[in-house]
Structure 1
Amino acid sequence: MTSKLKSIRQTGSLVYNQNLKITQFAKSGRIEDAIRVFEDMLNRNTVTWNSMISAYAKNGRINEARSLFDRMPFKNLVSWNSMIAGYSHNDRVKDAAELFDKMPQRDVFSWTLMMTCYTRNGLLEKARGLFDQLPKKKDPVCWNALISGYAKNRRFGEARRLFDEMPVKDLVSWNSMLAGYTQNGEMRLGLEFFDEMLVKDVVSWNLMIDGYVQVYDLDSALKFFQRVPSPNVVSWVTMLSAYARSGRIVEAKSLFNQMPERNVVAWNAMITGYVQNGQIEEAHQLFTEMPERSSVSWTTMINGFVRVGKLDEARELLEQMPYKNVAAQTAMIFGYVQSMRMDDARLVFENVSCRDVVCWNTMIAGYMQCGRTDEAMYLFQKMPIKDMVSWNTAIAGYAQKGDMNKALRIFKQMGERNTVSWNSLISGYTQNGFYVDALKHFVLMLKEGAKPDWSTYACSIIACGNLAALQIGKQLHHLIVKSGYINDLFVGNALITMYSKCGRILQARQAFNEMVVTDIISWNSLIAGYALNGYGREAIQLFQEMENHGLIPDQVTFVGVLSACSHAGMIDQGLKLFKSMAEDYCIVPIAEHYACMVDLLGRAGRLGEAYSIVKGMPIKANAGIWGAMLGACRIHRNLELGKLAAEKLFEFEPQKASNYVLLSNMHAEAGRWDEVERMRIMIRERGGQKQPGCSWIEVNNQVHAFFADDWTQPKTAETCGTLKSLMAHMRNTGYMSEINTSLFDCG
């Protein structure tokens, strides 16, 4: 009998210790270790199952928690409450409510859990409905939960009315009401309520200190801190953290040294302060002096090394970490991603035993940024749980690669979308030249009730500019004014570009003048707008005005002014500016600047000088430079130099048929029909195909796009017939001497 009793006691002691391990592992985020303990247990009691359910839920693995709950041989009230708490913690309101309705019995904690689940998700009416179903003598815990819910959702009037109706108020009730004010930045109301309180404890004082800290009133926070009758470690850490986050590291260090007792949170707060202020050596010194370290200590220090680019030191610390958590490993992955060391990041990723959604997203985003889309999507497909960031990252990644079909497919697969989802798609269409699609999805976004932000409007305005869709652009401008984004810098710059590309330079200037804040991009956009519309002198004047405002021109500025000189035929001014760019502004010319100069001289017929610039460049000529050269040769009928430019251009754009057509037309004008035929053969041999021309027109606030040689469109034959009549009329009146009819493809 004694032996049997001893055996029972030993078993009970073993189970107790194993249950304790599960709880400890769960708290430190070591969920895989907790699972191993659970799976290895020969004897499990109800506490074991409840501990494991709680461990899964607190680590975001709520589906596994539910699976375990369903497998439990015997469930008690704690089991049901643990599962509801898990759903609440993971904001699974519907699941929590369904489970609550199935409960065979409930206690006050059950009701409070469900009410809290509703209030934290803004469902206050449902929470009040539960509260009203309770017996007349309601426990203060339920009152406090509802008061706190109202206050946290800024419904202070209802919170105060409920507080005043409360039959018996305890200190928690007073502090719940006070927290509602202080945690929402309502410090005037909070101070008034604090003065009303009949009884205060250190929690009350700490709430006031933290409230002032949250509204960045550190002087008031310090005054309250100095008045606390018996400050505890939370009081000290709150003030210390406030100083550290605000960059007042000297005051933080002074408080740290004055602390009567320091816990690991205080040490971590001080280390965090040093890390945030870039004092990594001081942080590391403090880290080595710590009497004990938590996982937060290690993670903060690893993150600190990552922030200053000391990846080897961060990796060494990670290897030394006794119990690696996902936060520390994700910080290391992020450091490698930022340095484009994706193979190193993958090695760390593979060793993460319990990956959370942030870990997955960091790795996927890294692959996307490096252009390794296939690897990113492989991980995306493997993700057990995807959040909004995961989906948006995938859309943005495909858009960045230019694969808008796949980006759209991912977008359509999303169960729920936010503004970032729409922006990722719309900006993708804009960046890849699908302007009509960008505007179509902007309209769809409005129809689905999503709210555009500055990025949505900026991308849509850019699309209008590239389509020259002036009327739609004006309507968007009105929407922007109503939405309040008119003062946004990016939106303002997009409006300047849109009006410029639509030929409305006065409205572009007006948009510029109405901007509250301008930057170099604003000035460059307007200068480019003047250049595009042939206002060369005005562009130069704006350039001088920009300098008078103290802005230093950059490479883009000079592309704009040189282009303006080219379009306006201001050769001497252009040459002077090109020389000044290097001598006065120390800007090394790039290919775009040389292309402008070739275009400037070429338009004026000074082909020899243009070619000399190309030969004397310290950089390798690109397609833009040789394209400008070929265009100038076409205008001035210099076939020999044109052939040279074309051959160089073919090296960069071997499959662009328009280059071959241009040279073919030059040969045709010179009567060299054998060369014309050779050009046609080259197009076929090199796989070049003449891309169908796309045009669009804006009618009744709608953009209609159509392609050349597309006979499926309505009235195509009628349109081509009209075009042929116009061409014949132009030929008869002498306007067709410079145009080769082979360029027109109407059958």
Structure 2
Amino acid sequence: MTLRLIGEKGSHVFNQNLKITQLGKSGRIEEAIKLFSLMKLKNTVSYNSMISAYMKNGRLGEARRLFDEMPYPNLVSWNSVIAGYLHNDKVEEASQLFDKMPKRDRFSWSLMITYFLRNGELEKARKLFDLLTDKRDSVCWNAMISGYAKKGRFDDAKKLFDKMPVKDLVSWNSMLAGYTQNGEMRLGLQFFEEMDERNVVSWNMMVDGFVEVGDLDSAWHFFEKIPNPNVVSWVTMLSGFARNGEIVKARTLFDQMPSRNVVSWNAMIAAYVQNCQIDEAKRLFMEMPERDSVSWTTMINGFVRVGKIDEAREYLNRMPYKNTVAQTAMISGYVQSKRMDEASQLFCQIATHDIVCWNTMISGYAQCGRMDNAHCIFRQMVNRDMVSWNTMIVGYAQVGQMDKAIKIFEEMGQRNTVSWNSLITGFMQNGLYLDALKSFMLMGQEGKKPDQSTFACGLSACANLAALQVGKQIHHLVVKSGYVNDLYVSNALIIMYAKSGRVFDAELVFKDIDNVDVVSWNSLIAGFALNGYGKEAVKLFEEMLVDGVAPDPVTFVGVLSACSHAGLVDHGLELFKSMSEVYSVEPLAEHYACVVDLLGRAGRLEEAFNMVRGMKIKANAGIWGALLGASRVHRNLKLGRHAAEKLLELEPHKTSNYVLLSNMHAESASWEEVERVRVLMKKSRVEKQPGCSWIELRNEIHAFLSDSPAHPRASEICKTLKALTAQIRNPGYLSDFNSLLDGV
């Protein structure tokens, strides 16, 4: 009777302990706490179950308090608390508890060593490993070997491997994985051939390694030699073919598989999706004997990828158990299609949002310019990552709200290179070139290394400011940083030198590029045109054609502009004609503006006007502006007035248009018309923009706005200017100046 009662009580406690464990795993921590508190009989397992439940739900303090209350904690108790601390990255607390342990088992050592290895702290892991008294345990040896190998420290891994008292198959595979996962296939192959024993995992590693480095022939060679390939072998090879566009070979392999599980079906569907063959993916999906969440998510992603958003939603609705990944894929589809209201509705239906889901919504609103909505989502986020902050900076910059972009940037706890690039690019997009350069300098002072994007933006800022000396300094930094061969940076260097008037330095950069692209050619052609070397620009265009580089719309803007500045009227018209007839490049408004300018400069105003009237596209401000400028030069008031009226319709608030028209009337002594333009300007509420000038002095850019006392030495500068003006007005000074000119 007594034995039966003890057995029943023991069984009851066992069931309660199991229940606590289950409640903890499912997140129902309050129910677990209540059950534990009501237990009349508690054993060590009861305490361990409750500690584990606390730890799994992130309630570390309560777990530790319970552990300290335990009458007789065992090794499992100690290990549970240490594992909980490590799971929540509380390594200091875990280390302190580890040091206090009266006794440690293999699991205790492997917990600490594996944590340090997983976080890349190899030296701390090695220090613990060296303290191990029982060196026969292969688990820690294998973990250390794997840790060294994953970090590419193959010599350290091999030394440790050679010292192992007893090697098992896991040891051999750990070493092999280091080589194959780091793309060291020559060393991997050599080690594979030396292995005492191999299993299918070893063969699969070799196949996967060759697939990762793009050597499909070697991967196939190894696949064919596998004694008993498993599903992983087949799927690895299949995925290799799919990733490299060999979809037919992938399908052949799939059809040859002796047995298929859901993973293999998913791999083949993913292959079709990756190659945008959504109909084939759909057919295969319908044939599947069973589907899991990956199957449904892959199909939803596939429909989104090819722009079939409604079909993607249909599949999401049919999905038996919806997960955040599938729902986020659907939100991404709505974002791509600018259907943000539908994205928002779906977002609100998701029970638990992951970081990708939050960021997808922020990115969507930012792309649509709805920064109030993006800011609202951003503020709701509990755990923001770097992507969240950087997306907000980019979003505000795109809508021209740089003050808010700066505020977000300053609020960031940590910044990476992308954060700085986002801010610098934002300044560039909004024409704040000085601020872009200042940020470039501050980035270096903060210790962040610029990448190719940073250098390109910095050089572009110098180009727009014609800040040659600063541009040269950045050029030196580019060389030191190893980005001199980066095409993106080299093209930015060409533009910087060209816009700073040093077109032959730009040409030297061009000649040093190993593989120039169409952007390189366009940048140099535009540089020659900009600096008045029209014939050289045309010659460069001809060299480009001989080199076999196909011109694009930007090329023709540059070369037509060159013809205009060099007075090569017939050659320019011939090139314009060849655009569509020879090179299949349809003329845009920019090309018509160049030709109008070309004809206008030559005084062929009637031809220019007839071209504008006969265009297939609608004339923009650039075209009417070119016609207005030519009309003023050749004093054709009638045509100039017509061009000006069209220009004012397109740009009613641009000061220069009114000024140009007013000057034309003034030159023809039409003072009533001058007054009419001034009245029209007032009615349109056009405010004259303050003039801006800058000068580069001792590697520093000094900017000056008219009627602005912002410069620290403004009063001193004004006094100096007044003194110079007084000297110039002095008759004696003018006499001396004229004598100097006569001498020259």
Q: TM-score range by the shorter chain?
A: 0.7 to 0.9
SS in 1 for 2:448: coil
Gaps of 5+ in 2: 37-45, 739-744
C-alpha contact 2:420 2:443 (8 A) present in aligned 1: yes
Instruction: Say if 1:12 and 1:454 are closer, same or farther in 2 by CA, change over 3 A.
Output: same
Instruction: Say if 1:674 and 1:722 are closer, same or farther in 2 by CA, change over 3 A.
Output: farther
**Percentage identity across paired residues of the two chains:** 60
SS in 1 for 2:563: helix
Q: Give TM-score scaled by structure 2 length.
A: 0.86
What displacement does 1:624 show?
A: 1.9
The yes-or-no answer on 1:243 pairing with 2:241 is yes
Provide, for residues 502-522 of structure 1, a one-character-per-residue CA deviation record: whole Å limited to 9, x for no partner.
112222222222222222222
More moved, 652-661 vs 665-674: 665-674
The yes-or-no answer on 1:559 pairing with 2:557 is yes
Give the alignment of 1:516-595 within 5 angstroms.
516-595=514-593
Instruction: Say if 1:692 and 1:166 are closer, same or farther in 2 by CA, change over 3 A.
Output: same
Letter in 2 for 1:452: P
SS in 2 for 1:534: coil
C-alpha contact 1:49 1:68 (8 A) present in aligned 2: no
Matched with 1:452 is 450
Matched with 2:43 is none
Instruction: Select 1:101's aligned residue among 59, 82, 96.
Output: 96
What displacement does 1:396 show?
A: 1.5
**Aligned equivalents of 1:71, 1:129: Cα separation in 2:** 30
Instruction: Say if 1:8 and 1:626 are closer, same or farther in 2 by CA, change over 3 A.
Output: farther
Root mean square deviation, CA, Å: 3.6
C-alpha contact 1:457 1:476 (8 A) present in aligned 2: yes
What displacement does 1:723 show?
A: 6.2
Letter in 2 for 1:717: C
**Aligned equivalents of 1:14, 1:308: Cα separation in 2:** 53
The yes-or-no answer on 1:629 pairing with 2:627 is yes
Matched with 1:43 is 35
What displacement does 1:501 show?
A: 1.0
SS in 2 for 1:286: helix
C-alpha contact 1:38 1:48 (8 A) present in aligned 2: no
SS in 2 for 1:43: helix
What displacement does 1:47 show?
A: 7.2
Matched with 1:234 is 232
Letter in 1 for 2:35: N
**Aligned equivalents of 1:570, 1:5: Cα separation in 2:** 106
C-alpha contact 1:364 1:376 (8 A) present in aligned 2: yes
What displacement does 1:619 show?
A: 3.2
What displacement does 1:48 show?
A: 6.5
Matched with 2:618 is 620
Letter in 1 for 2:654: K
Gaps of 5+ in 1: 24-33, 57-63, 737-747
Instruction: Say if 1:600 and 1:185 are closer, same or farther in 2 by CA, change over 3 A.
Output: closer
What displacement does 1:165 show?
A: 3.2
C-alpha contact 1:531 1:560 (8 A) present in aligned 2: yes
Instruction: Say if 1:301 and 1:581 are closer, same or farther in 2 by CA, change over 3 A.
Output: closer
Instruction: Say if 1:602 and 1:270 are closer, same or farther in 2 by CA, change over 3 A.
Output: closer
More moved, 128-137 vs 261-270: 128-137
SS in 2 for 1:335: helix
Provide, for residues 113-151 of structure 1, a one-character-per-residue CA deviation record: whole Å limited to 9, x for no partner.
332222222221122222234445574322322222122
Letter in 2 for 1:43: L
Instruction: Select 1:302's aligned residue among 289, 300, 303.
Output: 300
What displacement does 1:717 show?
A: 1.1
Instruction: Count residues in correspondence.
Output: 715
Letter in 2 for 1:269: A
What displacement does 1:88 show?
A: 5.5
**Aligned equivalents of 1:266, 1:136: Cα separation in 2:** 42
Instruction: Say if 1:36 and 1:599 are closer, same or farther in 2 by CA, change over 3 A.
Output: farther
Provide, for residues 127-184 of structure 1, a one-character-per-residue CA deviation record: whole Å limited to 9, x for no partner.
2222234445574322322222122112222222233333444433333223222322
Q: Give TM-score scaled by structure 1 length.
A: 0.85
Matched with 2:475 is 477
Matched with 1:355 is 353
The yes-or-no answer on 1:721 pairing with 2:716 is no
Give the alignment of 1:412-431 within 5 angstroms.
412-431=410-429
**Aligned equivalents of 2:580, 2:299: Cα separation in 1:** 46
What displacement does 1:371 show?
A: 1.8
C-alpha contact 2:60 2:85 (8 A) present in aligned 1: no
C-alpha contact 2:23 2:31 (8 A) present in aligned 1: no
Instruction: Say if 1:81 and 1:371 are closer, same or farther in 2 by CA, change over 3 A.
Output: farther
Instruction: Select 2:212's aligned residue among 191, 214, 239.
Output: 214
Letter in 1 for 2:722: G
SS in 2 for 1:551: coil
SS in 2 for 1:703: strand
SS in 1 for 2:35: coil
What displacement does 1:80 show?
A: 6.8
Give the alignment of 1:430-441 within 5 angstroms.
430-441=428-439
Letter in 2 for 1:96: V
More moved, 47-56 vs 111-120: 47-56
**Aligned equivalents of 1:455, 1:14: Cα separation in 2:** 60
Matched with 1:489 is 487
C-alpha contact 1:243 1:249 (8 A) present in aligned 2: yes
Instruction: Say if 1:240 and 1:14 are closer, same or farther in 2 by CA, change over 3 A.
Output: farther
Between 1 and 2, higher relative CO (CA 8 Å, sep ≥ 6) is seen in 1
SS in 1 for 2:574: helix
What displacement does 1:357 show?
A: 0.9
**Aligned equivalents of 2:241, 2:584: Cα separation in 1:** 43
